[in-house]
Amino acid sequence: MPYPYQLKTLQAYKEAYQKSVEQPEEFWGDVASHFTWKRKWDKVLEWNFEQPDVKWFTGAKLNITENCLDRHLDTIGNTPAIIWESNDPEEHHRVLTYKELHFKVVQFANVLKNNGVKKGDRVCIYMGMIPELAIATLACARIGAIHSVIFGGFSAQAIADRLEDAKAEYIITCDGAYRGAKAIPLKDVVDDALIGNHTIKKVIVATRTRTPVSMIKGRDIWWEDEIKKVETHGNPDCPAEEMDAEDILFILYTSGSTGKPKGVVHTCAGYMVWTNYTFVNVFQYEPGQIHFCTADVGWITGHSYIVYGPLSAGATSLMFEGVPTWPDAGRFWQIIEKFKVNILYTAPTAIRSLMGFGLDFVNGSDLSSLKTLGSVGEPINEEAWHWFHKNIGKGNCPIVDTWWQTETGGVMISNLAGVTPAKPAHATLPLPGVQPCLLDENGALIEGNTVSGNLCIQFPWPGMIRTTYNDHERCRQTYFSTYKNFYFTGDGCLRDENGNYRITGRVDDVLNVSGHRIGTAEVENAINMHAGVVESAVVGYPHDIKGQGIYAYVIYDGSHGDAHLSRQDITHTVSRIIGPIAKPDKIQFVPGLPKTRSGKIMRRILRKIAEGDVSNLGDTSTLLDPGLVDIIKEGRI
């Protein structure tokens, strides 16, 4: 068996869990011994949560790409590492074996080197879902450059902010990207992002849509031309840079409760061990299986379960360029039939959307290859869980409901497919190494079962966030200051009579829209940029498909025309400032916002109104202008 640390029975899980708590260093030292190191660690773990300062495998040297590529060459070199399915069902798919992927990564690593990229440099990657995205990511890791992948749906302004924060020096992008019926001009967006930027030295552009692009002399170069230059130098070789266990592997920006996204930092060794361990155990991956994670590499799910987790395990990872509903709502099911997919890992929002199209699309495809189903990104409601289980899994496939976050690097709470029991709408039990607990508002530990509270983690795990880029204090403030000596997740949570965890959603001002994390403050900032807007407040409300929708209350100086056009303008502004994913679903114009005498917006009231639950708004007597509430209630959309 290739994964000696794969847990095959409930008993094995229980024993592993106990050992991970009682002897964490021995436990993780054992797991880590199955990886390729250039030098072994001196110490498995050093930590304190006060700073915070967490170090795993100190003194160890490695390169994650040797674990994802080189170590597989002799054994499974001719096995597919990446299978790529185009947006266009008519276009031929691509297969890259481990040998081929290794070749391409090494080759592109040499391109990066030729263009002056060095260890520690920040390289922004803004691409569509083509194999070159994975190649670019791995090529950075090969030479020790820090990648910062930005999801292709973010706007120029959002990219500009992230480039500035990371002081990025290079960008890898595409001319354009296909998404369903649309072609998105990525290079144009990058050009806009670069107006006024002083840190970017080179932009490498891969060809995909061959839409017209403006290539600026001295700055912009084509991927394919650069490959030719390294090709002429004969068989490419690019030794893997020796990285310290705690050197930065990547930065990934995510939203918080302030207006500014933060750069979550993951480091080489811990992240590698964690994504591999969780991949192999949660999905119970077996060699030869085809793993299809439908996320975009621009999010942590894609980093961990399209690229690093599967590849470090020698798995075959299916990468899909398109969307679930184009050309029709049978796309996922056709892909599963076409490649005999064994593991499907997707988001509740996709399931709910596909449910709405009826079973004809599902029944048109042979789904009998499926062994395991997975859900991620938001709470999965029971209805969606049962639909998924019955109609996609045909009642035979375990569903893993995987709770985790950008900051956790990999899955934290989940059943292990077919090994530990599932419970609909419950993430169930913590993985070995994860010590969750619930705390109340006053910071008291809530013991026992059938309880609820704020979800915290009381001990480090290898894949945890190390810092927020260039701003360690922000990391401390956000995650380690609410509760002393605990990592605070920002999620509310129930623990049932058997100790199963059920995550109920964010308790901070963070929204989860279609599994995408968006800060209310970020959306408010964007809305407030619009010339006619005086002030705004944004809250979430339950949305049948997206999980949460975005509801904006806007004080508007409406002298410029009709409400419909004004709403459109505000929506367009948000699209320009953040991206289409942050567009409000509803905009209500209000004469004022309900504030306390100290000027704090009472979001609780706004949330209730947006939810349509106006019968009991609680105590409104502390409001500066209680009369406002009735006006807002009446104007509800």
- Chain residues binding ligand WT7 by CB under 6 A are 254, 300-301, 376-379, 401-406, 427, 489-491, 503, 505-506, 512, 517
The rounded distance, in Å, linking the Cα atoms of 348 and 408 is: 20
Continuous segment of H or E residues that includes residue 31: helix 24-32
3-state helix, strand, coil in the chain (%, to 5): 35, 25, 40
**How many other C-beta atoms lie within 10 A of the C-beta of residue 611?**
13
CB of 315 to ligand WT7, least distance (A): 19
User: Nearer Cβ to ligand WT7, position 97 or 304?
Assistant: 304
User: Nearer Cβ to ligand WT7, position 279 or 361?
Assistant: 279
Continuous segment of H or E residues that includes residue 376: strand 372-376
The rounded distance, in Å, linking the Cα atoms of 455 and 256 is: 16
| Main-chain dihedrals φ then ψ at residue 191, nearest 5 degrees | -55, -45
Helix (H, G, I), strand (E, B) or coil at 477: helix
DSSP 8-state code for residue 585: S
| Main-chain dihedrals φ then ψ at residue 54, nearest 5 degrees | -125, 125
Q: Is 196 left (phi over 0), alpha (psi -120 to 50) or beta?
A: left
Reading the block at residue 71, the tokens are 């170590």
CB of 428 to ligand WT7, least distance (A): 10
> Is the dihedral angle over the CA atoms 151, 157, 161, 166 positive or is it negative?
positive
CB of 404 to ligand WT7, least distance (A): 4
The rounded distance, in Å, linking the Cα atoms of 539 and 536 is: 10
H helices present in 297-367, as ranges = 300-302, 309-312, 331-339, 348-355, 360-363
CB of 135 to ligand WT7, least distance (A): 23
Q: What residues contact 356, with CB distance under 8 A and at least 6 apart?
A: 545
User: Nearer Cβ to ligand WT7, position 122 or 426?
Assistant: 426
CB of 425 to ligand WT7, least distance (A): 9
Q: Is 189 left (phi over 0), alpha (psi -120 to 50) or beta?
A: alpha
CB of 455 to ligand WT7, least distance (A): 8
CB of 106 to ligand WT7, least distance (A): 30
User: Nearer Cβ to ligand WT7, position 176 or 310?
Assistant: 310
CB of 213 to ligand WT7, least distance (A): 30
User: Nearer Cβ to ligand WT7, position 503 or 538?
Assistant: 503
CB of 85 to ligand WT7, least distance (A): 22
User: Nearer Cβ to ligand WT7, position 144 or 398?
Assistant: 398
Hey, which residues does 45 pair with through a beta bridge? 56
DSSP 8-state code for residue 265: E
CB of 153 to ligand WT7, least distance (A): 13
CB of 229 to ligand WT7, least distance (A): 38
User: Nearer Cβ to ligand WT7, position 349 or 512?
Assistant: 512
User: Nearer Cβ to ligand WT7, position 125 or 518?
Assistant: 518
User: Nearer Cβ to ligand WT7, position 170 or 403?
Assistant: 403
For residues 178 and 208, is the Cβ–Cβ distance under 8 A?
Answer: yes
User: Nearer Cβ to ligand WT7, position 320 or 404?
Assistant: 404
The rounded distance, in Å, linking the Cα atoms of 41 and 381 is: 43
CB of 408 to ligand WT7, least distance (A): 7
For residues 154 and 127, is the Cβ–Cβ distance under 8 A?
Answer: no
Residue type, 608: K
Hey, which residues does 48 pair with through a beta bridge? 53
User: Nearer Cβ to ligand WT7, position 420 or 489?
Assistant: 489
User: Nearer Cβ to ligand WT7, position 20 or 254?
Assistant: 254
| Cα-based distances in Å from 516 to 382, 405, 547 | 20, 11, 10
Hey, which residues does 489 pair with through a beta bridge? none
The rounded distance, in Å, linking the Cα atoms of 537 and 557 is: 15
User: Nearer Cβ to ligand WT7, position 379 or 433?
Assistant: 379
Q: Which residue has the tokens 């070199």?
A: 77
CB of 426 to ligand WT7, least distance (A): 9
The rounded distance, in Å, linking the Cα atoms of 636 and 632 is: 6
Q: Which residue has the tokens 């004469």?
A: 591
